[in-house]
Amino acid sequence: MLNSNSHFLPSNLIVGVDLMDEQHAYLFAELDALKRRCLEHNALPQDEAKALLEALEVHFSSEHGLADDVAADFSTHDRKHQAMIGGIRKMISEVLHERMDVFSLIRYIEYWFERHILDEDRPLAEAIRHYRKICDA
């Protein structure tokens, strides 16, 4: 994984599937940029929050495609993605209506994303690597 965002992805979150690792690094970079802008303005930039959601949805779609490529059951994983997107949408609304602070939202996304990579994406990546190894043999 060699790209300009690779320093945003901690080594313990690298799963060993280039597309996933590159997208994870990009998402962490986007989250870091959002955090910096929130600190500068003490507010949530709506367009940037929307862009982060869209990037998450693209990433989730990519993972679904990777799972389909190796015939992995993706139903539970997908439900977790959908729950996360729904949770973030709700929290963004809460922030915009001043019922929640933006930094709670950012902490939630960071925590959820790290846990998800460790608990869900690692096993998916292992299945992908195993499938590719069998196909290459």
Q: Which amino acid is at 3?
A: N
Quote the Cα angle for 18-118-58, to 5°: 50
Between the alpha carbon of residue 123 and those of residues 15, 16, 39, 62, 63, the distances in Å are: 9, 11, 35, 16, 12
What whole-number distance in Å separates Cα of residue 96 and Cα of residue 102?
Answer: 9
Of 23, 124, 123, which Cα lies nearest the Cα of 70?
Answer: 124
Domain 16-136, CATH 1.10.132.20 — does that match? no
Cα–Cα dist 24/54, whole Å: 14
What DSSP character marks residue 81?
A: H
Amino acid identity, residue 13? L
Kindly report, residue by residue over 39-93, the tens digit of the pLDDT: 898 888 989 888 989 999 999 999 999 999 999 999 999 999 999 999 999 999 9
Query: In this predicted structure, what is the pLDDT of residue 43?
Result: 85
Residue ranges of E strands in the chain: none
Q: Where are the domains of the chain?
A: 16-136
Q: Which two tokens stand for residue 21?
A: 């690792």
Average pLDDT over residues 97-120: 93
pTM of the model as a whole: 0.89
Residue 38, CB half-sphere, CA atoms under 13 Å: how many?
21
Say how far apart CA 2 and CA 18 lie, in whole Å: 9
